[in-house]
Amino acid sequence: MEERERGGERGRDAHKKEELENLGPRVAVHAVRYGTGPYNGDYYAMLQVSSFRDTGLFIFNDNLGQWGSAGQWPDVPQPAGGGNACARPWQHTGAGGHSMGLCTGPFATLDEVHTVSLHGEPPAPHTAREIILAGQERIVRRLRAHPEKKNVYFCVDPASPPASREIGLAIFRGMVGDDVVALLSRVIAEIPSKMAERVKPCT
């Protein structure tokens, strides 16, 4: 009987180990506010520092065209943009890249439709909602593939309240709908919980 109990405990321990191995690495999401904090919240300056760069993934606001190109041709380097899109070239540097774009459009509503490649497939019509959720999937896939990336950075508006977790728009300000901003902010906040979801084994 004792042997059966020990066998049962070993089985439970093995099951727990398998469950843990099938979870993604834990990550923390950090709001960056330009003008305050380390390196004054300047993505470009932060990316020059190995302690930030090597363990971090910097999320920048991307336009639809270049976000779609990154999905269809992920190995083709793209130039820097304005605001936090100064981080765009870092998608293609280092171990799997140190930045990723989250598409802000600019989308006026979540229901508007655009033709774009989400994950490398031929371009097809998708709503802004689908595009943003696909952006979250890209980020989670990158983090799962590179467990050394334990910190996710995103930008908030420098003029927003101190505890704000709402994504800043910078050069897209006034062109992005409130429902779009809410979803963008939500998908960033959800990254740790998405990483904690059980990974389905390959079949």
Q: Residue 84 and residue 92: Cα distance in Å, rounded? A: 16
Residue 5 pLDDT class (50, 70, 90 cuts): low
Quote the pLDDT of residue 171: 81
- Segment 17-67, tens digit of pLDDT: 444 445 566 899 999 999 998 899 999 999 999 999 999 999 999 999 999
- Span 137-151, mean pLDDT? 95
Quote the pLDDT of residue 87: 96
Helices assigned H by DSSP within 75-160: 128-145
Helices assigned H by DSSP within the chain: 2-21, 43-47, 50-53, 64-72, 128-145, 178-189, 191-196
pTM: 0.85
The Cα diameter of the chain in Å comes to: 70
Quote the pLDDT of residue 126: 98
Q: Residue 154 and residue 132: Cα distance in Å, rounded? A: 15
Structure tokens at 124: 């097809």
- Span 96-105, mean pLDDT? 94
> Higher confidence at residue 92 or residue 149?
149
> Higher confidence at residue 21 or residue 160?
160
